[in-house]
């Protein structure tokens, strides 16, 4: 039920509809297909192509070498 935004118990939401920036359906489908083809098998083939290892951002509580460029961000600098 919609209420007047001036009502004291109302939650007012102000938003800008920006349809051109929405992720197109075909891009979502393409991502899903690539994920199914390239990522899901890595969980079942002992990551033979290193897909999961390359995606790993941390190991033993530290950033991996591939993601070490994020160290200042993680440190809050």
What is d(CA 15, CA 7) in angstroms, rounded to the nearest whole number? 19
Question: What is the reported pLDDT for 17?
Answer: 66
Interstrand relation of 62-63 and 58-59 (parallel, antiparallel or unpaired):
antiparallel
Would you report the helix, strand and coil content of the chain in percent, each value rounded to 5? 45, 5, 50
Residue spans of the chain under pLDDT 50: none
In a domain, 17, yes or no: no
Domain span at 59 = 24-74
Task: Quickly count: other Cβ atoms within 10 Å of residue 39's Cβ.
Answer: 12
In a domain, 48, yes or no: yes
Question: What is the reported pLDDT for 21?
Answer: 61
Question: What is the reported pLDDT for 13?
Answer: 76
In a domain, 8, yes or no: no
In a domain, 2, yes or no: no
User: How many independent structural domains does the chain possess?
Assistant: 1
Task: Quickly count: other Cβ atoms within 10 Å of residue 40's Cβ.
Answer: 11
In a domain, 19, yes or no: no
């Amino acid at each position: 039920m919609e209420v007047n935004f001036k009502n004291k118990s109302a939650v007012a939401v102000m938003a800008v509809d920006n349809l051109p920036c929405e992720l197109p359906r075909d891009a979502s489908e393409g991502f899903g297909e690539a994920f199914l083809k390239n990522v899901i098998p890595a969980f079942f083939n002992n990551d033979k192509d290193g897909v999961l290892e390359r995606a790993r951002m941390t190991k033993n509580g530290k950033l991996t070498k591939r993601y070490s460029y994020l160290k200042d961000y993680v440190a809050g600098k």
